[in-house]
Chain A
Amino acid sequence: MSDKSNPHIVQSPPEESFCAGCDSCEIICALAHGEAVSPARRRLFVRRDIRTMYHTVFTCRHCDDHPCYNACPKKGAAMRLDGCIAYIDDAECVGCGACARACPYDPPRVNYDRERKLARKCDLCRTREGGPACVEWCPVRCLSLLEIASEVE
């Protein structure tokens, strides 16, 4: 995989703003994309630690070489590129899950519901005026858009 990622959503360090564990980002993500609220429709993931209550928000890094896009059997139709953003066209997606399997991260940053054959991934709310909705609506402002390309950790 490429050692570069592109602008993406990042979580603040706790000393700057501590994730309150409210899941608002997941909810808003689905709503901002015109969908119902559902774990299957979120495009970022709050991994809860029920003991420490340090919650981690996993987001798509928008890899420079976008392996999810390359793995799509209908790339250019079901998986498309808008600059550095690989995004899914729901109407064209057949739900094969290849994009999720190709994601180099753990957990995969493509949300794939095998049963319902639904694949969802972050598109940085590319058509939304005002940018990513999760950033705008996080009640504790612990999410932000990292604008510059960065080294993959």
Chain B
Amino acid sequence: MSETTNSYGYVGKIARINLTTRTVTEIPTSRYVPENIGGRGVCNRIFWDEMRPGIAAFDPENMIIYMTGPTTATGIPTGGRGVFTGISPNSYPEQYAWSGIGGSVGAELKFAGWDGFIVEGRADAFTYIYINNGEITFRDAEPLRGLLVHDTQRAIAELHGGEVQSFVIGPAGENLMRNATITTSNDNVAAKSGFGAVFGAKNLKAIAVRGTGDVSAADIPKLFELRRRMGSPSMRKNPLVRELTHGMDGNEIPVEGGWLRGQVSCSHGCNQHCNRLMLDMKSAFGDGRVNQVEKCVGIFAYGFQEDCSWTPIQNYETERNHFLACKMLSREEPEPDTDDPHFDALFTKVRGDILNFWKPDFDKGSVMMDMCNEYGIDKWDVIVWFFTWLSMAKSEGLLDNLDFGMEVDVESEEFVRYFIEMIAYRRGEYGRIFGEGMARAIRILGKEQYGDALYHGRVSQVTGERLDLPVSLETAWGHSYHWQGRGFEGTINKPGWVATSLELMNSTRDAQTVAHHHDKYENYLQFKDDPCRSPLLVDGVILSENKAEIKDSVTCCDWQSPDLYWDSLEAEMFAAATGIPMTTEELNRAAERSRLLFRAILIRDFGRTRDMEVAAIFPTMRYPDASGETVEWDEWNDLVDIYYTKRGYDLTTGFPTRETFERVGLPDVAERLYPAEVEP
């Protein structure tokens, strides 16, 4: 591929935007593709090539990389998603991480002629970046300072026209709140890595994009075939529905007069509409009503007495019974095949633990959501971690000596408003502390007393027993539990949480956002009794991890991929976009390269070793799951041995061997990581 020449799928160049020098340079995309596919694969390569150890998240030297994939803006479904990477202020400790995001900026960026951008340095004045086709300029953002997210989006549209697309931060990002989001249209966010705070540290309020150029897929008939087949069955009406209740499984609440539900898609060109739009909801700001998007976690803002239930079909599938995750939220699941001999096992719901965090309150939940949206804060940590901690710590009498300036009461809308505002603006001593995110706040306060103390209010609905849980729902790397057997979405059984915990161990942040774990039920039957000694379970973990790299690189959506019974889906998407033949095996090899670059970055810049990652994850699995199960040191390490062996890592250090790097075409990485005598 020739440099900077337009080609199918890619538009040819990446912008290097230096805020310190206010300069822009072009990098030919062909320097990185097709070998690194796009998206996260390219980000990982750039970060490996250009960064070095010793840089902190808020340093000017930290770079925020945003990349689209070759499918973005082509019309191949779900290709509208893109990926940010950089050193995450929300990971604990700070580490290189990623965050996916939907919306339309990625497509607009490609229409403007850019496959992605690297933002580096720090502006000496509050700035936003305006990308207008090939022209990239630095604009005064002082008039935008302090604006809420939607006001910022509106102001940018007034300045540059209604067609402009933007990434913006709210007050939380400006105040370096470590859970700050980058937000775009339809309330899409890059949330978990806290990159909104990196924007803030760079004095960057927004990136606005307008493009009018062309993006071409190579194989249009194939593109239409993919649109027809992906997400099938599709193509049906999407009426607004008046719901009379909200919440599920122990958190239901009747809503007087009902509430109006719509379904919207998250990204340009998607063929689904899995995001739930809640219309005419109570706003946190003034007397107005707002429409807002609720995704999986949002439902718990409105009531959190009982944890999310789990149905095995969410993770384990048969050829006769499997459907896409996006069909669940749009409530368009196909009728199950009841003749499947595994039907009963797959569809038997396991109710979540009784937790009694807060009672259902429709308006209070809406206010909590609206504040997160407008201040630009990750809803996940607010709902799953901050407020569950406040509830549990209060219940256990741990807050008696902490004066927040208001009595802690998670049932009170007034307190919800007070606390979220306090952390977004980092007001007072506790605003400064909790603005550091929960992992750091707990350590500032004293982890033993405020994090590890036990909550005695959890009751399993599997065993009927009280199963104590720490008051801080922390798992590894400064993130909270997510489908890990305890805490939020904790109902998944041991073979499932062993797999998701292994995926988290190898990560730097919550992995169950782009790597929701899936495996075939026939495999599950083989490893369910001794999951930690199963090479087959590890195969499923590696599949989920590799597919996550692929999804974030091609790009496509976690809610449509993987389809375990259409393994070549992502390769077909890539080939349709680029015209470059691609097999499932070749794409998998690219995913392995991307993961190895990620691991090489962690080893070089952040001291990642086996001891470090096992120590990070193991304690989180010592608390009982809903069935009272835990994991033992030996069995976990047996599982890690199997995983390292399959991945080609040294069993002692956890470093990939030279041979592993060379096998996927990365001898240069091995050479740089292990100069001369340093063998893993």
> Chain A: residues with CB nearer than 8 A to chain B?
12, 14-18, 20-24, 27-28, 31, 35-41, 47-48, 50-54, 113, 115-116, 137-142
- A138–B265 Cα distance when bound, in Å, is 12
Residues facing A in B46-102 (CB within 8 A) are 73-75
Asked if B75 and A28 sit within 8 Å, CB to CB, the answer is yes
- A140–B227 Cα distance when bound, in Å, is 13
- A52–B153 Cα distance when bound, in Å, is 13
- A17–B277 Cα distance when bound, in Å, is 13
Stretch at the interface among B237-245, B594-602, B615-623: B237-245
B25 at interface, CB cutoff 8 A: no
Asked if A53 and B291 sit within 8 Å, CB to CB, the answer is yes
A23 in contact with B269 given A38-B111, A137-B227 (CB within 8 Å): yes
A24 in contact with B162 given A41-B214, A51-B154, A53-B291 (CB within 8 Å): no
A-B contact pairs, 27 of them (CB 8 A): A15-B240, A18-B262, A22-B267, A22-B271, A24-B75, A24-B227, A24-B270, A24-B271, A31-B75, A31-B220, A31-B223, A36-B215, A36-B216, A37-B75, A37-B215, A38-B111, A38-B213, A40-B212, A40-B213, A41-B214, A47-B162, A50-B186, A53-B291, A140-B236, A140-B237, A141-B236, A142-B237
Closest residue on chain B to residue A48 by CB atoms: B185
| A40 contact set on B, CB distance < 8 A | 212-214
- The answer, among A17, A28, A37, A115, for a CB contact under 8 Å with B239, is A17
A66 CB to closest chain B CB (Å) equals: 26
| A14 contact set on B, CB distance < 8 A | 239-240, 262
Asked if B237 and A141 sit within 8 Å, CB to CB, the answer is yes
- The answer, among A15, A31, A113, A139, for a CB contact under 8 Å with B234, is A139
A44 CB to closest chain B CB (Å) equals: 14
- The answer, among A21, A23, A38, for a CB contact under 8 Å with B215, is A38
Asked if B238 and A17 sit within 8 Å, CB to CB, the answer is yes
Asked if B263 and A20 sit within 8 Å, CB to CB, the answer is yes
Of B73, B212, B227, most buried by chain A (CB within 10 Å of CB) is B212
| B123 contact set on A, CB distance < 8 A | none
Asked if B277 and A38 sit within 8 Å, CB to CB, the answer is no
> Chain B: residues with CB nearer than 8 A to chain A?
73-75, 104, 107, 111, 150, 153-154, 157, 162-163, 185-187, 211-217, 220, 223-224, 227, 231, 234-240, 262-265, 267-273, 277, 290-291, 293
- The answer, among B211, B227, B270, for a CB contact under 8 Å with A39, is B211
A36 in contact with B154 given A23-B268, A139-B234 (CB within 8 Å): no
A148 CB to closest chain B CB (Å) equals: 21
Asked if A27 and B269 sit within 8 Å, CB to CB, the answer is yes
A22 in contact with B269 given A15-B240, A38-B213, A38-B215 (CB within 8 Å): yes
| A27 contact set on B, CB distance < 8 A | 75, 268-269
A45 CB to closest chain B CB (Å) equals: 9
| A22 contact set on B, CB distance < 8 A | 265, 267-271, 273
Closest residue on chain B to residue A55 by CB atoms: B264
- A27–B216 Cα distance when bound, in Å, is 11
- A140–B277 Cα distance when bound, in Å, is 15
B414 CB to closest chain A CB (Å) equals: 25
A50 CB to closest chain B CB (Å) equals: 5
Closest residue on chain B to residue A138 by CB atoms: B235
Closest residue on chain A to residue B112 by CB atoms: A39
Asked if A37 and B214 sit within 8 Å, CB to CB, the answer is yes
Closest residue on chain A to residue B214 by CB atoms: A36
Asked if A15 and B239 sit within 8 Å, CB to CB, the answer is yes
A37 in contact with B235 given A22-B269, A139-B265 (CB within 8 Å): no
B568 CB to closest chain A CB (Å) equals: 23
**10 tightest Cβ-Cβ pairs between the two chains A and B:** A36-B214, A140-B238, A20-B273, A22-B265, A17-B237, A27-B75, A36-B216, A20-B265, A18-B262, A38-B214
Asked if A139 and B272 sit within 8 Å, CB to CB, the answer is yes
- A142–B223 Cα distance when bound, in Å, is 21
- A39–B212 Cα distance when bound, in Å, is 5
Other than the given A14-B239, A41-B214, A140-B263, 19 more pairs (CB < 8 A) read: A12-B237, A14-B240, A15-B240, A18-B263, A20-B270, A21-B264, A22-B267, A27-B75, A27-B268, A28-B75, A37-B73, A37-B74, A38-B213, A38-B215, A39-B111, A40-B214, A48-B104, A51-B291, A142-B237
- A16–B215 Cα distance when bound, in Å, is 33
Asked if A24 and B269 sit within 8 Å, CB to CB, the answer is yes
Asked if B212 and A115 sit within 8 Å, CB to CB, the answer is yes
A55 CB to closest chain B CB (Å) equals: 8
A16 in contact with B269 given A50-B157, A53-B186 (CB within 8 Å): no
Asked if B277 and A53 sit within 8 Å, CB to CB, the answer is yes
Asked if A140 and B273 sit within 8 Å, CB to CB, the answer is yes
- A75–B216 Cα distance when bound, in Å, is 31
Of B153, B238, B269, most buried by chain A (CB within 10 Å of CB) is B238
| B236 contact set on A, CB distance < 8 A | 140-141
- A106–B56 Cα distance when bound, in Å, is 50
B234 CB to closest chain A CB (Å) equals: 6
Of A16, A24, A50, most buried by chain B (CB within 10 Å of CB) is A50
Asked if A50 and B150 sit within 8 Å, CB to CB, the answer is yes
- The answer, among B154, B234, B265, for a CB contact under 8 Å with A21, is B265
| A139 contact set on B, CB distance < 8 A | 231, 234-235, 265, 270-273
Closest residue on chain B to residue A136 by CB atoms: B235
B292 CB to closest chain A CB (Å) equals: 9
| B239 contact set on A, CB distance < 8 A | 14-18
Closest residue on chain B to residue A38 by CB atoms: B214
- A22–B73 Cα distance when bound, in Å, is 11
- A24–B228 Cα distance when bound, in Å, is 13
B401 CB to closest chain A CB (Å) equals: 42
| A54 contact set on B, CB distance < 8 A | 291
Asked if A52 and B291 sit within 8 Å, CB to CB, the answer is yes
- A54–B263 Cα distance when bound, in Å, is 11
Asked if B238 and A20 sit within 8 Å, CB to CB, the answer is yes
| B235 contact set on A, CB distance < 8 A | 137-139, 141
- A92–B663 Cα distance when bound, in Å, is 55
| B187 contact set on A, CB distance < 8 A | 53
- A12–B271 Cα distance when bound, in Å, is 18
Asked if A23 and B238 sit within 8 Å, CB to CB, the answer is no
| A15 contact set on B, CB distance < 8 A | 239-240
B151 CB to closest chain A CB (Å) equals: 9
A20 in contact with B264 given A53-B277, A113-B212 (CB within 8 Å): yes
Closest residue on chain A to residue B150 by CB atoms: A51
Asked if B291 and A39 sit within 8 Å, CB to CB, the answer is no
